[in-house]
Amino acid sequence: MPTRNDIRNVAIVAHVDHGKTTLVDAMLKQAGAFAAHQQLDDRMMDSNDLEREKGITILAKNTAVKYHPKDGGAPITINIIDTPGHADFGGEVERGLSMVDAVVLLVDASEGPLPQTRFVLRKALTARLPVILCINKTDRPDARIDEVINETYDLFLDLDADEDQIEFPIVYACARDGVASLTKPENGTVPADSTSLEPFFSTILEHVPAPVYDDAAPLQAHVTNLDADNFLGRIALLRVEQGELRKGQTVAWIKRDGSIQNVRISELLMTEALTRKPAEVAGPGDICAVAGISDIMIGETLADTENPIALPLITVDEPAISMTIGTNTSPLVGKGGSGKGADAKSGAKVDRKVTARQVKDRLDRELIGNVSLRVLDTERPDAWEVQGRGELALAILIETMRREGFELTVGKPQVVTREVNGKTHEPVERLTVDVPEEHMGAVTQLMGIRKGRMDNMSNHGSGWVRMEFVVPSRGLIGFRTEFLTNTRGTGIAHSIHEGYEPWFGALTTRNNGSLVADRAGVVTAFAMTNLQERGVLFTDPGTEVYEGMIVGENSRSDDMDVNITKEKKLTNMRSSTADVTESIVPPRKLSLEQSLEFCREDECIEVTPETVRIRKVVLDQKERGRTASRAKKG
């Protein structure tokens, strides 16, 4: 069968923060993708604000570099897919792998293969894709290249790779300096026999298969991602498997339900570096973008009108975590962070989206481009159950919506269970923890409370211990904050979905109760000085609160209703302690992720563009008391 030797399609997969995006930056620069006078940012592929803030890749993105071989041959287009390293964004990984013919597995020279490395590699091996191993960050002082290579071989064997898949080439790189080599450098050094990524490019050309096609086959193109443009409307990103796709051509659009509709390609775009440019034709193996089909969805096929043949739909893993997202029902709905109806920072009005219709439309829009998400109706018309891969994926969705001006009420994250042989099974995670030896006991105790089962433990002799646990997913809700506290910020923890096991039983993850405001008003410094002995406070003086809002964490296990708006009574009587000043302990500010971890079953989170507040589901103090007494009586 004929092949296209002028093109290669490859995905770069790795664990979070092992250097994927930095490597792609270096490839773009060295392939001459930018003019000499262009101002270049670090991590150019991380175009999303949240990606830059958190330092992770959330959306799979593609770029293309024109590589000019050193022997003077014709230039070769290398399409590169930068995939997320976090398992919560696995839907992006699966779509990215459906577009390529091989993967580059990037592994940190010190940390070695971590849980997300296992996740993305398992997907690649299942898809029968060849692998190129790239050992990155060889210049780290704690690099241990030989051990990391052995751990990677063990991982391949553990994932049942066959002989062909285990015979992979190895490249050693320092992506930050844009240097790669086929010769193993000393630990802690940059490869010395190279000054560029040339060995890496030549390895890609040699080991990534060129796209194969059939001359006589009709057109087949697979939609793998969606984008939007202010002028062109919805854009479908797709890979052409067979035949040719031309601008202005009429094609058969095969939908998810099997129905077929003839549509016209109004615009055809091809990627060069980080920009899309108009093109006339795309052939087999090309990754291109088309406009003109307003309702096209991921996984659908564009085919020949005379002989339409559908490609298989993209399948993703089932969701493991769910939470309820609804409209904001608090007394401060529609008001800013100060409760006065304006943006607390700028004083400018914010376009607030507070109605059920707006929230539902936004969730439906998210479903179009996010295949790993599910939105289910609940008993209430203004709330929906949103299911996703993990806590982080759902937190990113909520953070994106709040930045768009939405006000939401978000429930505590729950696990998605399933029935197996009449018994309830729940999702479990494989948790890998790296901690200094002195914190080993604290972490073991923490995992024991959460019903974690230790699977493996290794000591590299550097004062650090690596432990692997199998733990129920709900045991990890609220785990990270407590873990960082117990390890004094030194511990590193990563987890990945491992499957389903029988229900582990009751779990108690948060021992302390909440301090709940018993009336509406403004927080006073006088009230805070009296209450800070009771626990840790979350609010500043001058903050507006309402009945049922949680203002702190109690030092005891039960909830306590408190008056945090109490004012000091002024009298004309002198006091011996009148001039004694009392200091207020700075309140603990909880981020959105920390609020989700803190939340209990009877609590929820109010999310607005300016603030994140934790509150009771039932705001009325008396009603909560009656419910509690009924529960005690049974």
The reply to whether 19 sits in an annotated binding site is yes
CA 521, CA 524: separation in Å to the nearest integer?
9
Q: Does 579 score more than 60 pLDDT?
A: no
Question: Mean pLDDT throughout 601-605?
Answer: 87
The reply to whether 589 sits in an annotated binding site is no
Q: What is the DSSP letter of 230?
A: T
User: Do the strands 535-537 and 514-517 form a parallel or antiparallel pair, or are they unpaired?
Assistant: unpaired
The confidence band for 573, taking pLDDT boundaries of 50, 70 and 90, is low
Q: Which residues contact 156 (CB under 8 A, 6 or more apart)?
A: 121, 125, 165, 166
The confidence band for 188, taking pLDDT boundaries of 50, 70 and 90, is confident
Long-range contacts of 60-63 (CB under 8 A, 24+ apart): 60/84, 60/92, 60/93, 60/95, 60/96, 60/225, 62/99, 62/237, 62/271, 62/287, 63/24, 63/28, 63/33, 63/271, 63/273, 63/274
CA 109, CA 136: separation in Å to the nearest integer?
6
The confidence band for 91, taking pLDDT boundaries of 50, 70 and 90, is low
Q: Does 481 score more than 80 pLDDT?
A: no
The reply to whether 304 sits in an annotated binding site is no
User: Do the strands 250-254 and 260-264 form a parallel or antiparallel pair, or are they unpaired?
Assistant: antiparallel
Q: Does 208 score more than 60 pLDDT?
A: yes
131 DSSP β-pair partners: 103
Cα-based torsion angle of the residue sequence 389, 50, 115, 482 in order, rounded to the nearest 10 degrees:
-90
The confidence band for 54, taking pLDDT boundaries of 50, 70 and 90, is very low
Radius of gyration of the chain from its Cα atoms, rounded to whole angstroms: 28
For tokens 């410094």, name the residue: 525
Q: Does 128 score more than 80 pLDDT?
A: yes
Cα-based torsion angle of the residue sequence 307, 312, 314, 318 in order, rounded to the nearest 10 degrees:
140
The reply to whether 137 sits in an annotated binding site is yes
The reply to whether 21 sits in an annotated binding site is yes
CA 60, CA 83: separation in Å to the nearest integer?
5
Among 438, 413, 630, 439, residue whose Cα is nearest residue 509: 413
The confidence band for 74, taking pLDDT boundaries of 50, 70 and 90, is confident
The confidence band for 40, taking pLDDT boundaries of 50, 70 and 90, is very low
Residue 226 main-chain phi, psi, to 5 deg: -130, 150
- Per residue in 582-597, pLDDT (tens digit) is 678 888 888 888 888 8
pLDDT of the residue at 618: 86
Q: Does 234 score more than 70 pLDDT?
A: yes
The reply to whether 17 sits in an annotated binding site is yes
Cβ contact 144:155 at 8 Å = no
Question: Mean pLDDT throughout 239-243?
Answer: 87
pLDDT of the residue at 571: 67
Which alpha helices (DSSP H) does 106-263 contain, by range?
A: 115-126, 145-158, 163-166, 198-207
- Per residue in 426-458, pLDDT (tens digit) is 888 888 888 888 888 888 988 888 888 888 888
Burial 11-42 (b: 16+ CB within 10 A, else e): bbbbbbbbbbbbbbbbbbbbbebeeeeeeeee
Residue 629 main-chain phi, psi, to 5 deg: -70, -35
Q: Extract the tokens encoding 496.
A: 């990945």
Specify the pTM.
Answer: 0.71
pLDDT of the residue at 36: 40
CA 6, CA 96: separation in Å to the nearest integer?
21
pLDDT of the residue at 172: 92
CA 182, CA 173: separation in Å to the nearest integer?
9
The confidence band for 78, taking pLDDT boundaries of 50, 70 and 90, is confident
The confidence band for 416, taking pLDDT boundaries of 50, 70 and 90, is confident
Cα 468–Cα 474–Cα 479 angle in degrees, nearest 5: 60
- Per residue in 192-202, pLDDT (tens digit) is 888 888 888 88
Longest dimension (CA), the chain: 100
Q: What is the DSSP letter of 106?
A: E
The reply to whether 622 sits in an annotated binding site is no
The reply to whether 22 sits in an annotated binding site is yes
Which alpha helices (DSSP H) does 67-213 contain, by range?
A: 90-97, 115-126, 145-158, 163-166, 198-207
Question: Mean pLDDT throughout 523-536?
Answer: 87
Mean model confidence pLDDT for the chain: 81
- Per residue in 311-355, pLDDT (tens digit) is 887 766 678 888 899 998 888 887 765 554 444 444 445 578 888
